Homo-oligomer: A and B are copies of this chain.
Amino acid sequence: MNFLEERIVKDGVVKEGGVLKVDSFLNHQMDIQLFETMGEEFKRRFAGKAINKILTIEASGIGIACIAARHFDVPVVFAKKTKSINIDGEVYAAEVESFTHQTVNRVIVSKKFLSAEDRVLIIDDFLANGCALQGLIQIVEGAGARVEGIGIAIEKGFQPGGQRIRERGYQLESLAIVEDMDCRTGKIRFRPQKV
């Protein structure tokens, strides 16, 4: 097991309905030292890619993206889930369904912060059905920019999001891929990764 898989086994909690709670270190309380190691690993997996910007989505992707950005020395843009009165002018938009909150959000990025010259690394904390990721890809490509890679902390390998994204030819790197988990025993099985 790698460092993130070990941490998930140690502190993650398997709940009914395919819910993996990692809120003690990833997406409510955030272990910044863990995020540093994740950032180093993303840098290693995307070595040689000409990345000039990281795109994530509020809220729980922002911390991971900002720490990772130190290792790429690039700015971070986060997609917003509601139209703020502080966003003027035109925006790139996508409709995103939230597995966690069971809602549909309009996700927007100001056109000022994505252009055809951008080579974007998309980062998020979770990949399940892939709706958020599909929306971010749509936003990047709608700007004429290029998705150089996608870095995810935890992918639910038993949901279709990851396969759909890989079938489209993107370099998708999930630091931990949960193959299956049992809410009765709490047991978590990870997909072996040769990295």
Contact = CB atoms under 8 A, between A and B. Distances in A.
Contacts of A112: 23-24, 29
A7 to B, nearest CB: 13
Interface in A59-108: 59, 62-63, 65-67, 69-70, 73-78, 80, 82, 84-88, 100-102
B32 A76 contact: yes
A116 B67 CA distance: 29
B63 A86 contact: no
Contact of A76 (B63, B69, B87, B102): B63
B63 A66 contact: yes
Interface of A: 15, 19, 21, 23-25, 28-33, 35-36, 58-59, 62-63, 65-67, 69-70, 73-78, 80, 82, 84-88, 100-102, 109-110, 112-113
A28 B85 contact: no
B28 A80 contact: yes
A76 B120 CA distance: 26
A72 to B, nearest CB: 9
Shortest 9 CB-CB contacts between residues of A and residues of B? A58-B59, A63-B66, A62-B62, A29-B113, A59-B59, A32-B69, A30-B76, A29-B77, A66-B66
B21 A75 contact: no
A25 B139 CA distance: 20
A186 to B, nearest CB: 15
Contact of A28 (B30, B73, B87): B87
Given A29-B76, A31-B75, A19 B59 contact: no
Contacts of A24: 112-113
16 contacts: A19-B85, A23-B87, A23-B112, A24-B113, A28-B80, A28-B113, A30-B69, A30-B78, A32-B66, A32-B69, A32-B70, A59-B59, A59-B80, A62-B62, A66-B66, A84-B101
